[in-house]
């Protein structure tokens, strides 16, 4: 069992916002936080514009695959961050839940994805601080 906090990012397709947030958290936490991501209705692949936008930040998401949200992922998490998935995420007592209102990058080119990516980075940095961890770069 790990003493590291576990964070789960959830959006509908697990192809854009939640994947970018998970990639940033893995990168910026230096491995001090366990990171999961999933979707209530996963897409076939991660949004190519999101992959390209993260590559600009030096973060490679090209091997990531959307995953289906499971009850066990929620149970394993200390913090659950939802992004536009409504009430599809199970609620358990003792978990910290946040809903991040962010524009959906689906169907947008890289120019439209960059501002969403930058908002996610800001929120992830604050999340890391709130968990008592130092953010690295």
Catalytic (active site) residue 28: no
- The answer to whether 11 is a known catalytic residue is yes
Q: Tokens in use for 59?
A: 């973060």
Q: What is the CA radius of gyration of the chain?
A: 14
Among residues 22, 36, 89, 124, the one annotated as catalytic is 89
Catalytic residue among 7, 10, 11, 36: 11
The strand pair at 96-99 and 6-11 is best described as unpaired
Active site residue 15: no
Residue 30's nearest CA partner among 55, 4, 49, 11 is: 4
Question: 23, 49, 83, 85: which one is catalytic?
Answer: 85
Closest to 59 measured CA to CA, from 91, 92, 90, 19 = 19
Distance, CA of 49 to CA of 56 (rounded, Å) = 11
Catalytic positions, written as ranges: 11, 85, 89
């Amino acid at each position: 069992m790990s003493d590291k906090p576990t964070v789960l990012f959830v959006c509908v397709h697990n192809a854009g916002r939640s994947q970018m947030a998970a990639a940033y958290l893995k990168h910026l936490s230096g491995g001090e936080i366990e990171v999961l991501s999933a979707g209530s209705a996963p897409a076939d692949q991660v949004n190519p514009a999101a992959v390209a936008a993260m590559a600009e930040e030096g973060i490679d998401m090209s091997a990531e695959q959307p995953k289906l949200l499971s009850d066990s992922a929620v149970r394993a998490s200390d913090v659950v961050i939802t992004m536009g998935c409504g009430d599809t995420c199970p609620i358990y007592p003792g978990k910290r839940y946040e809903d991040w209102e962010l524009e959906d990058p689906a169907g947008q080119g890289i120019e439209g994805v960059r501002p969403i990516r930058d908002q996610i980075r800001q929120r992830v940095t604050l999340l890391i601080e709130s968990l008592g961890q130092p953010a690295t770069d």
